[in-house]
Chain A
Amino acid sequence: MVLLERDPNAPGEWVDDLPVTNRYTFGLAGERFFRVIKEEARILGTHCTRCDRTYVPAAAFCERCLSELTEWVDVGTTGAVETFTLLYVNADGTFREKPQVVAFVRLGDGGLIHFLAEVDPESVAIGMMVEAVFKEPGERLGSIHDIRYFKPMG
């Protein structure tokens, strides 16, 4: 198919990094959502009256009708485990002995993805009620990590 041949002394590969460094704002909705977590340890959603849905994390707009969302509602800090997984693989693809327990916790019509802790991984079940465990006020910086994890209610 080709007429040229590869030089037997050709280096096999060229190795390099792709430098991508970023700074993200939390945005119109994220600014308030995370400030309320940081300052009040409360979780807020925004409600779309047209579609009758409450978005958590709070959104500035409704993805279904594109209305601006201005009605903020407290959705509490407890919810049911909609689904979960025992994650045996690290961010870099290497395997780990003990799994991270990761759950999607239903709050309003959305919810939060976070760790579950203070629970035996084998006993986690869909439908289990869990509550958010916040960091101490002084430790909270305004981030998803202001919630340490969710734990079973009880």
Chain B
Amino acid sequence: MAMRKVAVVGAGMTRFVRRAQETARELTWQATHQALDSCGLTLDDVEAVCMGTAPDAFDGVHMKGEYLSDGAGAWRKPYMRSYVGGGTGVFVPIQGWYHVASGMFDVCLVVAEEKMSSFYPHAQAAFLTIFDHTTERPLKPNLLWIFALEMNRYMQTYGISKADIARVAVKNKRNAADHPSALLGDKNITVEDVLNSEVLAWPVNRLDVSPVTDGAVALVLAAEHVAQRITDKPVWIEGVGWSLDTAYWTNRDLAYPRYVEQAARMAYDMAGIREPRKEINIVEPYDPFDYKELHHLEGLLLADRGQAPQLLADGVTERTGNMPVCPSGGLLGVGNPIAAAGLMKIAELFWQLRGEAGARQVPGQPKRGLAQAWGDLMQVGTVVIMGR
């Protein structure tokens, strides 16, 4: 049976800021409103709404999917919130995809929001409660721990240096200088700046880490027959994949993200891609920490294990390189409002593939892009492949 084709036909986003005046519902509305405007649709055209947003602790509202519903345009509509931790931002377009691909709906809004500044005084403290309540939380862990543990294992396994990794932060923050929504764009940042920033949790320094951010992003998805009426430049969702590894994260090797590979294989398979390194023109892997971009490129089979730093060193992943990676500026540069950051990557592919990315435009009229996010206890891979 032929699968129904699903296109992205509109996108919108707020600025990514450290602390927003807007309530979470207002931020959500701003992105949603923009996305509809971008493709000339109104709320009457929308049949269902998908919401992606990460821990309730951030916005400080229990069942926050309900709280965000009106801003997402869900009034008296079918509305659901999907949730796979940090992977949510790239999962919610998958959720939109199955809403439309199922044949139940022709036009679907896909919205992601995070207002991390509402967790006060320190958003990072919310992460204590992602650990196992009985066997880990009594040790008072923080989010930096698991990233630092994983980064160290990755460096040790493949002999990668902190300087190799710092280049990712430099590339992405420089790219972000061209993004109007960016929180931390910086054209002049250097590897030394990253290496000399304060040590938070060795091997992680401050500039290895993406910032606490508020923001929202929205997309409009449509079935083929509707998409072709709305736009002559639809961007198709060609493949989707997701995979969730065991919660017993201390019972597996952290050097390689096999869950990302599982998700990628599922998406490549659906998209009919056999040689991803040749067939993917732009990549937006998840980069909440700089080493994660490298780690994820390997999981996506776009680099050999331990070899992603070489791609970076060779300039392959620059915006003008053979395989631009995070031309948006990524989470390190644009900012990391968890779920919204993931969906920002999908919006970036949408703009890039339509040739509408302005100063960030990747040369050579890219045909196909891949976005990926990661989440939970280094456990979830979510992958979307889009093409024109």
Contacts and interface: CB of A to CB of B under 8 A. Distances in A.
Direct contact of A and B (CB under 8 A): yes
A139 B155 CA distance: 59
B32 to A, nearest CB: 6
B358 to A, nearest CB: 25
A118 B21 CA distance: 37
A123 B20 CA distance: 45
Interface in B172-194: none
- A contacts with B: majority SS: mixed
A21 to B, nearest CB: 6
Contact of B23 (A14, A25, A63): A25
Contacts, number: 70
A110 to B, nearest CB: 12
B75 A63 contact: yes
Interface in A115-138: none
B23 A30 contact: yes
B128 A64 contact: no
A95 interface: no
A24 B134 contact: no
A27 B70 contact: no
A86 to B, nearest CB: 25
Given A16-B137, A19-B125, A66-B73, A60 B26 contact: yes
A20 interface: yes
A19 B128 contact: yes
A61 B128 CA distance: 35
Given A26-B23, A27-B21, A19 B70 contact: no
A22 interface: yes
A19 B129 CA distance: 8
A23 interface: yes
B26 A22 contact: no
A25 B71 CA distance: 16
B120 interface: yes
A14 B134 contact: yes
Contacts of B25: 27
Contacts of B119: 20-22
10 contacts: A14-B134, A20-B119, A20-B126, A21-B125, A22-B60, A22-B119, A23-B60, A23-B120, A27-B21, A66-B32
